[in-house]
Amino acid sequence: MNFLEERIQRDGIVKEGNVLKVDSFLNHQMDIALFQQMGAEFKKRFAGQPINKILTIEASGIGIACIVAEQFHVPVVFAKKSKSINIDGDMYVAEVESFTHKTKNQVIVSRKFLTPEDHVLIIDDFLANGCALQGLISIVSQAGGTVEGIGIAIEKGFQTGGQVIRNLGYHLESLAIVESMDTATGKIVFREQ
């Protein structure tokens, strides 16, 4: 097991409905030293890629993205979630439909901050069905930019998001891929990488 898998094993809590709570170190309270390890690992996995910008989505992607960005010496842009339909023309907009919540949301990024010259690393904390990620990819594509890679902390390997993204040919790296979780025993099985 790598450092993140060990941490999930130790401090993650498996809840009903395939929920994995990691709010003590990843997405409510944030362990910055752990994020630094994640940054170093992503730097290794995306070595040699011409990355000049990191894109993430509010709120829980932001902290990880900023610490990862220190490794790449690039700025971070975070996409905003919006329910409003009155977006002015200065924004890229992606409609994101959540399979889980059966809701539609908009994800927006100012046109000023993504251009055809951008080589983007997308960073997020979780990948499950991949709705948010599809929206981020759509936005880079609208800008004419290039997705050089996608770095995820925890992928739920038993949901379809990761497979779809890999099938589409994207370079997706998830630091921990959960194959299965057992609510009764709390046991978490990770995919061998």
Contacts with a second copy, residue ranges (CB under 8 A): 23-25, 28-33, 35-36, 58-59, 62-63, 65-67, 69-70, 73-78, 80, 109-110, 112-113
Residue with tokens 């902290």: 63
Give the nearer residue to a second copy in terms of CB position, either 53 or 156: 53
Q: Tell how far CA 51 is from the center of its chain.
A: 16
Residue 66 vs 137, nearer CB to a second copy? 66
Q: How far apart are CA 173 and CA 49, in angstroms?
A: 13
In the complex with a second copy, which residue's Cβ is closer, 63 or 129? 63
Of 58 and 182, which CB lies nearer to a second copy in the complex structure? 58
Amino acid identity for residue 155 in this structure: E
CB of 59 to a second copy, least distance (A): 4
Q: How far is CA 18 from CA 21, 54, 157, 158, 159, in A?
A: 10, 29, 11, 10, 10
Closest approach of a second copy to the CB of residue 95, in Å: 20
> C-beta of 27: minimal distance to a second copy in Å?
9
State whether residue 78 is helix, strand or coil.
strand
40 versus 164: smaller Cβ distance to a second copy: 40
Instruction: Report the run of H or E that residue 72 belongs to, with start and end.
Output: helix 60-72
CB of 85 to a second copy, least distance (A): 18
Pick from 117, 115, 118, 131: which is nearest to 57 by CA? 131
3-state DSSP assignment of residue 34? helix
CB of 81 to a second copy, least distance (A): 9
Integer Rg of the chain from CA = 16
